[in-house]
Structure 1
Amino acid sequence: MKDSVAEEHLYLGFSHQYRDSIFPLHTSISLFLLSYCDCKLFKIFLVPTGENVDDQFVTKNLLGDLEVHLISRCQLPVVVQSCCLPAVVVKDGKFCRAGLSVVLRHIVQKTYDADPSKKDILELLGFKKTCLKACAEVSQWTRLCEISIPLAVEGFLMASPEHCQTIPPDILQLERKLGEPVRVHNDDKIRRQKLQQQKAGAKDAVPVLGKEATEEGKTVEMHEHPLPSLELSIAFSKLLVQEVSDAVNREAPCIRRTKTSDLPLLDHVFAEGLYFTLADIVLLPCIHQFLVSSKKQGKNLVNLPLISNWYQRVQKVPGVKKAAGKCNMELLQFPELMPAPEEELRDLSSVPHELEEENEDSHFIGGPRPTMTKLMENGIEAKFSPHPCPNWTLDWTNLPSAVSPGEGKMSRDRALRKQQQLNNLVAAVTKLAKPGDVIVDFCSGGGHVGIVLAHMMPSCQVVLIENKELSLMRAKDRSDELGLNNIWFIQANLDYFNGTFNIGVALHACGVATDMVIEHCIKAGAAFVISPCCYGFIQNTVKFKYPRSRKFKEILSYKEHMILCRFADQTAVQLPPERRIIGKQCMGLVDLDRAWAAEERNYSVQVISMEPETCSPKNNMFVGIPA
């Protein structure tokens, strides 16, 4: 165990207690993970939403051996006050992590860093440590686990009896997800093993892992019978650090010759596939509360056989029952349920695939000319405003080395282009900013924009928001080297930042992220300076539909707009000049649509080409000012 681990403060929201859970459910989930990890590395604070909360009542009914303190919202560190909870911050520090997935992943990593023998805890992050790493706006799976399921269960529990007769659509969505084939790394090998098992007969091919496993010195009943499938065998072999027998690993010649398309598909064991991950930790407290409430109401769970069986299976994972006991979660026992007959799954089949209709058009063949011609016939062409200060540049030679983007591992040419890009954004922000303004660098990456702004404008407060921890840590190191005191760092998705600010900035915000930043700025009444990127990644999401503006919607379909987006990405220097010109025109049209959408909400927006245009293939820049 490492001794020199800096204490961090974990702030959790608290609205009320309901049965054996604390609401919001994000708080119950966080506390359950802490119990599962046996993590005492954080000083935990509950932040009540109401004014009058009895301290003794909360702590008396709280979880197990975790020491918890109450703190009011106004007592939070200022950087945390700008974020949605849960949030973690180093004591007296300016580096904050906010949002459920970011905080949970940090708890897992910090637990392992403090005690590297806890490799099973690190395994919660999944293959390549990507479990719940993608932000909820981009990943439908992250959104379902992090946002939709907790909110659906909270709504179900709080609803009056007559309004909670039907199963929430998001629960049905999870049931359907658990029924989808599993895709995992190296699944070809596992699927061949499954085929061999099927041919040999499950009884002979599946190894018996043994009836007992040791969990912290206690004997735990794991399996009363041989495991019913290869998937279960592999999953629990990993959990118990056992090897699957050679009988399963050896492949017969006929198995090796089988085409991949003819191999059997893999079934879910846990939420993300074969292995127990952080997603299961997130879902368990939510599904537990839903099942407890359903049982009290006498609901028949025949429509949820996969969720019910998953719930039973998770309880067999070493450490889960112990953590549940600490959290006063009285886990239920159900008989093994078989998949329901088709006529009993009418509710399930009626749940639409998220974004199914909108994204059907995303697979298309054709060029941009018909779409561009259609817009021209309606008087719409790409147009760019003149650059307000094309020759403005920072004096890079006299700036500290830590300010320059060349401080990293960039080549000299790339560092020069990055400096040119920064000249454009900093020039625009300088014209807008006033002393005392708060400037937010969204999608900040390594902090190229934010650090320059913080250094050049010491009278302004600069906030860097980035989802990738390593990038933000590099930015903090550069800031520490410069001794900057007017800068905060927030590792979070954009949606978890709710602070007030005056100017939003983003350099090469990828795909939909540009629209997320614009939306954030409009809601805050803030000006924005944004350079978009990765137009080809634009697609309809839960929050954003394309085209964005009324004028474009009247003329273009979603499919036609996607054609513009795909070809807007074709501006790389190695492409033929004619194609780059068309790509630039498509970029201009996509951004014109965005600009008009903002103008419909009382903004004045200019679309400008950065100078020199060779500074980047993605050289468009918005400057938006509230009217």
Structure 2
Amino acid sequence: MKKGSIHDECLYLELSHCSEDRIFPLHTSIVFFLMSYCDTTPLKVFLVPNKDAADCPLWQKRVPANIPVALLSEQELPPVVRICRLPAVVERDGNFCRAGLAVVLRHIIQRTYDIDSSRKDVLELLGFKKTCLKACAEVSLGDRQEQILKALPLLCRWYQRVQEVPGVKKTIVRCDIQLLNLPAPVPSSGMLFPISVENKDKKMETMDPYFRGGPRPTMTKLEENGISARFIPHPCSSSQDWSNLPVAANPIEGMLSPERALRKQQQLDNIISIVTKLAKPGDTIVDFCSGGGHLGIVLAHTLSSCQVILVENKEESLERAKDRCDSLGLQNIWFLQANLDYFTGSFEIGVALHACGVATDMVIDHCIMAQAAFVVCPCCYGFMQNTVKYTFPRSQRFKSVLSYKEHMVLCRFADQTAVQLPAERRLIGKNCMGLVDLDRALEAEDHGYTVYVTSMEPDSCSPKNNLIVGTREQLNAST
């Protein structure tokens, strides 16, 4: 996506909890601090008051003097901004939105540097290798509570170091910010994470080609309680005529090898055939963890009467998708660079192709909250683990039989499906995949869904070839 002029983007910030002591929510104050420090005002800024702050005049005294700001009601927000939590940046009259504090802060820093490449000081705010704020997600290992505690010294050191960046303290005074008194950081040697016994066990298990002490006891325990993996035949066998689709709608446009492009086409065929059966004119379809948009772009092109939204945290991938859609002239697609939690819009169908680890569970939960149908292909089962928001097993049925550790055994061995592995090993991996996804399906059924697990065809299109499909009863009645 090409960079435009310095005023071609608009920034929307929340105004709430207005009182003498607290004028802005914390995320708005942080954005104001960064913009005041950058002192280039590369964006047009709007404050969006909620009901509690609609008549509050105090904000005018607290906005940094070097930042022009205008008020805007929630009803006046661009449609693409209404589907996400603030803060958010959107191209003026555009369909590309960046939402969430981390994403917005990184974008402001990048835009400042684009305008003036001498401002190396703003890049210093991002820390080592400019990675700060780049991968803040529920699925990251950092969300494990014990690791958060261990990582606190790193945050303390960053917090102290960033205060020494030239101009930061002056901006702190200008924005009337009070610094926290954090404990002194421990030496770096204290930050080394010990190798856990669980990780050692995992390594020993995966090295054993015959799975001695591996998933069999857990699988047997489930079978003794009447639980086994269940797959139904794929309900739709239709495929796209890829030769007649525009090049920009073809996965080969994403710089894939011919072999990978063919497998990607087969994966897309499996999902699109199901979504096409579910979708009605006017529906909104959300492609979660969309990457470069292989799935969402074909859906937008094929289902022109539906609105498609790509949600992806990686900027480079979403920009490639935007370029492809611009060349196709698609008018029914929006782009949201954000973590899943920042998407708040309503929709009828949620899809995800190879959503890694806990991301699959996040997608399904988003669909359940929206009472939307879902077609999800999981991936990276070995990355699954308890987080602040998600615990495993998911369903009451599995919880009554398995412990967390036993469920993690299934997750680890569900990743043992690569084509180069022995056939017996792949079969056990496939069964473990089926059991993990059955747990997910049962959890959705607890929320009133009709759910089935099937395999993408042909099996060779991906080692991770499960599809979890869920619909509400009222959706079934209307189709």
**What's the TM-score once normalised by structure 2's chain length?**
0.88
The question of 1:68 aligning with 2:69 is answered: yes
| Contact kept in structure 1, 2:18 and 2:56, CA below 8 Å | no
Q: 1:401 aligns with which of 247, 262, 268?
A: 247
The question of 1:610 aligning with 2:453 is answered: no
- Residue 314 of structure 1: how far off its partner (Å): 5.4
Q: Secondary structure at the match of 1:376?
A: helix
Distance 2:162 2:123 in 1: 17
Task: Quote the residue 1:328 is aligned against.
Answer: 176
Q: 1:373 aligns with which of 213, 220, 223?
A: 220
Cα distance per residue 1:72-106 (max 9 Å; x no partner): 11110001000000000011110000011111111
| Contact kept in structure 1, 2:271 and 2:375, CA below 8 Å | yes
Moved more, 10-19 or 110-119: 10-19
The question of 1:83 aligning with 2:84 is answered: yes
| Contact kept in structure 1, 2:84 and 2:344, CA below 8 Å | yes
- Residue 136 of structure 1: how far off its partner (Å): 3.2
Task: Quote the residue 1:41 is aligned against.
Answer: 42
| Contact kept in structure 1, 2:124 and 2:165, CA below 8 Å | no
| Contact kept in structure 2, 1:8 and 1:91, CA below 8 Å | yes
Distance 1:570 1:142 in 2: 25
Task: Quote the residue 1:95 is aligned against.
Answer: 96
Task: Quote the residue 2:134 is aligned against.
Answer: 133
Q: 1:534 aligns with which of 361, 372, 380?
A: 380
Matching of residues 313-392 of structure 1 within 5 Å: 315-329=163-177, 364-365=201-202, 366-390=213-237, 392=238
Task: Quote the residue 2:308 is aligned against.
Answer: 462
| Contact kept in structure 1, 2:85 and 2:100, CA below 8 Å | yes
- Residue 140 of structure 1: how far off its partner (Å): 6.5
The question of 1:480 aligning with 2:326 is answered: yes
Cα 1:464–1:418, aligned 2, differ >3 Å: closer, same or farther? same
Cα 1:449–1:130, aligned 2, differ >3 Å: closer, same or farther? same
Distance 2:426 2:184 in 1: 57
Matching of residues 99-498 of structure 1 within 5 Å: 99-139=100-140, 177-179=151-153, 271=155, 273=157, 276=158, 280=159, 310=160, 315-329=163-177, 364-365=201-202, 366-390=213-237, 392-498=238-344
What residue identity is the alignment partner of 1:378? N
| Contact kept in structure 1, 2:375 and 2:468, CA below 8 Å | yes
Distance 1:138 1:90 in 2: 28
Q: 1:515 aligns with which of 361, 384, 387?
A: 361
Cα 1:113–1:498, aligned 2, differ >3 Å: closer, same or farther? same
Cα 1:60–1:408, aligned 2, differ >3 Å: closer, same or farther? same
Cα 1:605–1:480, aligned 2, differ >3 Å: closer, same or farther? same
- Residue 413 of structure 1: how far off its partner (Å): 0.7
Q: Secondary structure at the match of 1:117?
A: coil
Task: Quote the residue 1:288 is aligned against.
Answer: none
- Residue 327 of structure 1: how far off its partner (Å): 1.1
Bigger Rg over Cα = 1
| Contact kept in structure 1, 2:16 and 2:52, CA below 8 Å | no
| Contact kept in structure 2, 1:135 and 1:142, CA below 8 Å | no
Distance 1:114 1:493 in 2: 27
Distance 1:486 1:30 in 2: 31
Q: Secondary structure at the match of 2:114?
A: helix
Q: Secondary structure at the match of 1:471?
A: helix
Q: Secondary structure at the match of 2:353?
A: strand
- Residue 506 of structure 1: how far off its partner (Å): 0.3
Distance 2:183 2:429 in 1: 55
What residue identity is the alignment partner of 1:385? I
Distance 2:131 2:184 in 1: 32
- Residue 496 of structure 1: how far off its partner (Å): 0.3
- Residue 17 of structure 1: how far off its partner (Å): 4.0
Cα 1:18–1:178, aligned 2, differ >3 Å: closer, same or farther? farther
What residue identity is the alignment partner of 1:368? P
Q: Secondary structure at the match of 2:125?
A: helix
- Residue 47 of structure 1: how far off its partner (Å): 0.6
Cα 1:140–1:591, aligned 2, differ >3 Å: closer, same or farther? closer
What residue identity is the alignment partner of 2:452? Q
Size of the aligned set, in residue pairs, is: 452
| Contact kept in structure 2, 1:132 and 1:142, CA below 8 Å | no
The question of 1:32 aligning with 2:33 is answered: yes
Cα distance per residue 1:245-303 (max 9 Å; x no partner): xxxxxxxxxxxxxxxxxxxxxxxxxx264xx5xxx4xxxxxxxxxxxxxxxxxxxxxxx
Q: Secondary structure at the match of 1:318?
A: coil
Cα 1:625–1:579, aligned 2, differ >3 Å: closer, same or farther? same
Cα distance per residue 1:560-619 (max 9 Å; x no partner): 111110110011111111111111111001001100010011000010001111110000
Q: Secondary structure at the match of 2:23?
A: strand
Cα 1:558–1:518, aligned 2, differ >3 Å: closer, same or farther? same
- Residue 331 of structure 1: how far off its partner (Å): 5.9
Q: Percent identity at matched positions?
A: 64
Distance 2:144 2:18 in 1: 24
- Compute the RMSD of aligned alpha carbons: 2.6
Distance 1:19 1:37 in 2: 27
Distance 2:73 2:398 in 1: 47
Distance 2:125 2:299 in 1: 38
Distance 2:241 2:201 in 1: 47
**What's the TM-score once normalised by structure 1's chain length?**
0.68
What residue identity is the alignment partner of 1:49? N
What residue identity is the alignment partner of 2:271? L
Distance 2:103 2:454 in 1: 35
Distance 1:104 1:58 in 2: 21
The question of 1:562 aligning with 2:421 is answered: no
Unaligned runs of 5+ in 2: 186-195, 203-212, 474-479
| Contact kept in structure 2, 1:539 and 1:545, CA below 8 Å | yes
Distance 1:3 1:524 in 2: 35
- Residue 364 of structure 1: how far off its partner (Å): 3.6
Cα 1:361–1:597, aligned 2, differ >3 Å: closer, same or farther? farther
What residue identity is the alignment partner of 2:172? A
Distance 2:184 2:144 in 1: 28
| Contact kept in structure 2, 1:64 and 1:327, CA below 8 Å | no
| Contact kept in structure 1, 2:85 and 2:343, CA below 8 Å | yes
Unaligned runs of 5+ in 1: 145-169, 183-270, 281-309, 340-358
